[in-house]
Amino acid sequence: MKHATGFVMALLILAEMSCARLPYTTRVIADDPRVAVMLQHDVEPVNYSHPLQVSAAGIGAVLKGVSLREQVSLPLRWYAEERPPKAVFREDEIATLAPRVAEALAVAGTGERVYFELRAPGMNPRYDQDVTAGWMAVREAYLYITVEYFHAQQPRTRSSPYDYNYPTPRSAPGSYVLYFEPGRFWVLDPKTNRRAVEFRAFLQSAPGGQAP
Amino acid sequence: MKGVVAGLVLMLVLTMLPSVSAAVESGRLVEKDGKYVFVESQDPAIKLLMERALKQGVITKEEYERTVRESEERAYLLQPSFKAWYDRGFNFSMNDNAFFLKIRARFQGRMTQRFRNEAWRNPGDAKNFPELLGVFGDYRANRSEQEATTFSLRRLRLYFMGHLFNPDFKYFIQLRGETAENAQAPGALQLFDWNFTSTHVPWLNVQLGQYKVFFNRAQINSTASMQFAERAMVMDAFTANGLDRRDVGLTVMNDEELYPVNYFLGVFGGNGPNFNRLGTFVSEGPTEGTAASPAQRNINANTRLDVDRVMLAGRLNWNIMGRPGYGEGDLVYSETPQMVIGGGYAYNPAINTSTSNGGIGIDLANLNIRRQLATFGNGRQLGNGIIDYSTWAVDAVAKYRGWSLQGEYYFKNVNRHDKGLRLGHATGWYAQTGYYVIPRRLEVAARYAYWDPDTNSADDLIKEFNVAASYYFQSTYDHKIVLEFSNTAMGTGGFAEGRSAPLPAGFGTTPLDAVGGTLVENRIRIQYEIFF
């Protein structure tokens, strides 16, 4: 009985502790075989400047300037070949993604971020997909962008279609070093100490000077 | 048996259904520097020149189209007809996806430190997990001194899986090369699973071959996706066939990814893996001896009885909320509450646990069957003649934001053909909960398990308590380290044929359980696992 009592107590304590510690979806803006965009409640207390009107063209211009390099963990980093950064988004991906991100930013709340996911057929097209995913958010003049997966092969099903009932959760997000061109707009937000695109200044600097 | 034949015919028909094939395009999507780009099969420069030549009237439209077509065919023929890549295993596939092979391997290395009480010295365990010695499988009590430190390769697995013809005809092969913790001989490579699955019809998937019976949640779940280093003993004791979690047979079921309510109906040999019913027999007793020729056991016959019987197993699963799946714990950090309830029933008739002469030393029932019973903790059922197993299991799971709760209740009707013997039924349950202290990385879990192996006996309960902390290196079940503490208390009371008084004539008067007591063990396990 001592064991049973302890077990029940542990159960209750754990149930109490079950509060959100990772971002969770609050609203789905788009979800189809090509792209998913959704609002996520951010668990970090950042007061974003949403809702925000930004044109799809403006978002597209920002996305076009983002590139990345995979961050190799130590000690392999010492021996890793230095590779030039790769552009994160192709033209067709930007055309698909930008309008939906703009739509999402227009309805997001101050505690929400915009999660995006670009999907393509995977190497085993029936059961895998090629995923590029991350999230964006805006605080004042700063547009944060994070890439969690870059053309990562991820399973489409919850469990393996071959090793029956063996769960196939997504692997942990990858670690990437992001860049933005032109580099003068890739700045440190002094309040959050995070890298961000100074997007208003960037858009105004574009030929013709787009308003956000 | 008609059902088995019908199932086989249906499966054959399904595999012969024509698959939808995609039209050949003039290019293909290729991965280049981490990006997928569509590459034309014709050189762009030649294409430009051809288009200009057509425009200027140097070539006719027919010549242009013929050349483009031939160019595409050439490019298509010159490209490799296969692709190979690494993703949760080595993958090899033909370009048309008509054949896919994934090769994986799994390693579980473990260090165990045990602390046992004096009762393990005497009487030890002669009833639930007895050791069967020699070719005749004589009973031995499992006794040991108080402390033990062991290093073992608990699970070493090699997998070959994929599909043939099209993605709806799947195969799965698993080999194991491990040695059980208390094995008396090194293990050898052994076939664990070999099965084919047709998923052509989503509501009527068919699986044929050797695999884990869809019956008991804890057994359906892979040992790679557990919250603890090992299953609780009670989980192993209540398998569908009463012998092992695997069997040879056929199951029809629907697609769990698509339907919230899932059914599984199976028919099996009922004698465990790599074995069939013709291997079991009723053995005649020793030849009657004379003064000139003493009794001997090798001049007699083995008679196959009840060899037309099969095991039937069914399971129903209702995903009330979401899709919790079978993996333990909420590794994916479910954003919405997940809940499932399920249950199974299995009937496995005519398992011969001993010959009619019943006692130790002369018990010539099939040793494979007897060893399976002893390995899974059903040693009390040994020596009870022919038994029909009728087993029930109900289970429930809830998960939410890194927290999980899982429980299962079992009951096994042990119907003896020889009603004169004393064995009762068996029952048990477990409940376990876990919480990810660091979401998707670090989980702590606790489990309590209760097992009454013989409802007719007193002082035979088995109680187990485990706590574990697991760290998942890549937020998947594939790579982790587990630290587990366990406390088990195993009653030695009750009657076990050939081990408790009264013993069969000629086998002395001191039974193995002459000294009673409860076997207590405290155990620490550290286990590293990688599935690649």
| Nearest beta carbon to residue B403 from set A14, A121, A130 | A14
8 A C-beta contact, residue B495 and residue B420: no
- Token pair 């290093």 in the structure block, residue: B151
Gap from A208 CA to chain B (nearest CA, Å): 31
Shortest alpha-carbon distance between residue A72 and chain B (Å): 15
* More confident position, B142 or A209: B142
Straight-line distance from the first to the last Cα atom of chain B, in angstroms, rounded to the nearest whole number = 40
Interface contact A3, partner B, CB < 8 A: yes
Beta-carbon contacts of residue A71 (< 8 Å; ≥ 6 apart): A77, A175, A176, A177
b/e map B52-74, b = 16+ CB within 10 Å: eebeeeebeeeebeebbeebbee
Q: How far is A126 from chain B (nearest CA, A)?
A: 7
CA distance A174 to A65: 20
Kindly report, residue by residue over A96-151, the tens digit of the pLDDT. 999 999 999 999 999 999 999 999 999 898 999 999 999 999 999 999 999 999 99
Q: Which of B93, B197, B327 sits opposite A124 (nearest CB)?
A: B93
Nearest by CB to residue A126, choosing from B167, B171, B335, is B167
pLDDT of residue B286: 61
Contact status, residue B324 vs residue B398, Cβ threshold 8 Å: yes
What's the pLDDT at B295?
60
Would you call A58 exposed, middle or buried from its count of C-beta atoms within 10 A (0-12, 13-18, 19+)?
buried
ipTM for the assembly: 0.85
- Residues of chain B with C-beta less than 8 angstroms from the C-beta of A166: 222, 224-225, 327, 477
Residue A168 sits at the chain B interface (C-beta within 8 Å): yes
Does residue A24 belong to the interface with chain B, where contact is any CB pair within 8 Å? yes
Residues 6+ apart with CB under 8 A from A1: none
Q: How far is B474 from chain A (nearest CA, A)?
A: 6
CB B34 within 8 A of CB B48: no
Report yes or no: B83 at the A interface, CB cutoff 8 Å: yes
B485 touches chain A (CB under 8 A): no
Q: Which helix (H) or strand (E) holds A59?
A: helix A56-64
The mean pLDDT value for A31-35 works out to 92
Chain B residues within 8 A of A22 when measuring between CB atoms: 333, 401, 439-440
Mean pLDDT within A8-17: 55
Residues with Cβ within 8 Å of residue B345, at least 6 apart in sequence = B215, B313, B314, B315, B390, B391, B392, B393
Pick out chain B residues at pLDDT < 70.
1-42, 284-300, 355-364, 419, 421, 506
**Over the stretch A36-81, which tens digit does the pLDDT of each residue have?**
999 999 888 788 998 999 999 999 999 999 999 888 777 777 776 6
Phi-psi region of B488 (alpha: psi -120 to 50; beta: other; left: phi over 0): beta
Contact criterion met (CB < 8 Å) for A168 and B476? yes
Nearest by CB to residue A169, choosing from B34, B36, B475, is B475
Q: Tell me the chain B residues in contact with residue A125 when contact means C-beta distances shorter than 8 Å.
A: 97
Min Cα distance B297 → chain A (Å) is 46
Q: How far apart are CA A159 and CA A154, in angstroms?
A: 12
CA B283 to mean position of chain CA atoms: 31
Which pLDDT score, from 0 to 100, does residue B23 have? 33
pLDDT at residue A14 greater than cutoff 60: no
Considering only the beta carbons, identify the residue of B91, B335, B476 that sits closest to A124: B91
Please report the pLDDT score of residue B388 as a whole number: 93
Optimal mutation site among B21, B33, B35, interface A, most CBs of chain A within 10 A: B35
- Nearest neighbour of A162 by CB, restricted to B35, B162, B257: B162
Cα separation of B293 and B260, whole Å? 68
**Please, is B36 exposed, middle or buried when counting C-beta atoms within 10 Å of its C-beta (0-12, 13-18, 19+)?**
middle
The alpha-carbon gap from B79 to the nearest alpha carbon of chain A, in Å, equals 16
Record the tokens describing residue B25, joined without a space. 């395009």
Q: Does A9 touch chain B (CB under 8 A)?
A: no
Return the residue of B nearest to A70 by Cα. B34
Give residue B187's pLDDT: 76
Q: Would you tell me how many other CB atoms lie within 10 Å of the CB of residue B102?
A: 21
Nearest to A163 among B161, B401, B476 (CB): B161
Residues of chain B neighbouring A163 (CB-CB closer than 8 A): 104, 159, 161, 172, 222
Confirm or reject contact between A84 and chain B (CB < 8 A).
no
- Taking CB atoms and an 8 Å limit, are B34 and A151 in contact across chains? yes
Report pTM. Answer: 0.84
